[in-house]
Amino acid sequence: KKTLLPLLREETSSFIFPCNPAVQRPELQHMVMELLRCIPLLLFLLFICGLDHFIFSILSIIQHHSFIEYSYQTSHHLSVNVMGASLMADLLRSTIGALNASLDTEVETSNLVCLPQPTGMTRQQYLNTCLPLGALALLCLVQVYPFRLRRAIASFFFPKREKTRVLFLYNKLLRQRKNFLYLQRGRVARQARQPPGLGTLLLQRCRQRWPWLRRCLRQRCTLCGTPETPQHQPCPNPDCVALYCEWCW
């Protein structure tokens, strides 16, 4: 609860607030990892679709440029004429005359049966293929909200365990805050021992000489770096020009 231990600005980024609709920093890291796992599936799907289109293009070129049509025509005429009016001529006309024949042949054929008949995928089929992957990516974005219910469900069934977890978190925050203040004191002390740069001295002189420039040349908090506001507290040491925001102070 906020009344028990108000969180500092640096500490709020490591917690998840269930009532906040925005995706928060701890959830963002998990969500990015889940989305990165979808990249191999996306690459595999693009490879399969590209291979399908490539094979279809090759087969379509073969179908349109390898078509051959054959046309075969032949004509056969046989006519035997026997002249004369004798008995032998009549006999020959009756026997050899049966050999007279006339035949016209015309054949047309092609290799259409042997050619491939490719059928390309439509846009709807491509969309249906990519739809499961899109649904998976959408679930990776939406899953952060159902995951927030895990703590509430666990606290409902195990209230004593929830109380233990809250006490552990409270003590952990106190230890981290103590170490944080110790580290920040050391950092500020080291920063104070260093001589100020030329730009810092020029900025201080301008602020002292022309107070109306403070709105444009605002200082920042020594610890967190937030821009200067009326709530910022200067260091009580007159020789120190450090400035602290309300939380850090």
Task: Using the predicted structure, report yes or no on whether residue 33 has a pLDDT greater than 70.
Answer: yes
Place of tokens 């219910």: 149
Task: Using the predicted structure, report yes or no on whether residue 15 has a pLDDT greater than 80.
Answer: yes
* Whole-number CA gyration radius for the chain: 46
Strand 101-110 with 69-78, pairing? antiparallel
Name which of 15-24, 134-143, 156-165 the model is least confident about.
15-24
Alpha helices in the chain (DSSP H): 9-12, 25-65, 87-96, 123-142, 144-147, 149-157, 159-193, 198-209
Name which of 57-71, 176-190, 218-232 the model is least confident about.
218-232
Q: CA angle, 202 as apex, 238 and 223 as ends, to 5°?
A: 55
Task: Using the predicted structure, report yes or no on whether residue 2 has a pLDDT greater than 60.
Answer: no
Whether residue 121 contacts residue 52, with contact meaning beta carbons closer than 8 Å, is answered with yes
The arithmetic mean of pLDDT across residues 10-18, rounded, is: 82
Name which of 11-15, 53-57, 60-64 the model is least confident about.
11-15
Task: Using the predicted structure, report yes or no on whether residue 141 has a pLDDT greater than 60.
Answer: yes
DSSP string, 71-95: EEEEEEEE-------SHHHHHHHHH
128-138 pLDDT, tens per residue?
Answer: 999 999 999 99
> Which one-letter DSSP state was computed for residue 226?
P
Whether residue 246 contacts residue 232, with contact meaning beta carbons closer than 8 Å, is answered with yes
pLDDT of residue 7: 79
pLDDT of residue 67: 85
> Which one-letter DSSP state was computed for residue 111?
S
- Residue 173: both structure tokens together: 């925050």
| Residue 222 buriedness (CB in 10 A; 0-12 / 13-18 / 19+) | buried
| Rounded CA separation 61/116 (Å) | 10
Task: Using the predicted structure, report yes or no on whether residue 114 has a pLDDT greater than 70.
Answer: yes
**Percentage of residues in the chain with pLDDT exceeding 90?**
26
The arithmetic mean of pLDDT across residues 74-88, rounded, is: 78
Whether residue 38 contacts residue 45, with contact meaning beta carbons closer than 8 Å, is answered with no
Name which of 28-37, 94-103, 127-136, 201-210 the model is least confident about.
201-210
Q: What is the mean pLDDT of the chain?
A: 82
pLDDT of residue 218: 67
| Rounded CA separation 220/226 (Å) | 5
- CA of 56: how far to CAs of 60, 111, 122, 130, 207, in Å? 6, 19, 12, 19, 73
pLDDT of residue 215: 60
Task: Using the predicted structure, report yes or no on whether residue 115 has a pLDDT greater than 70.
Answer: yes
Task: Using the predicted structure, report yes or no on whether residue 162 has a pLDDT greater than 70.
Answer: yes
pLDDT of residue 68: 87
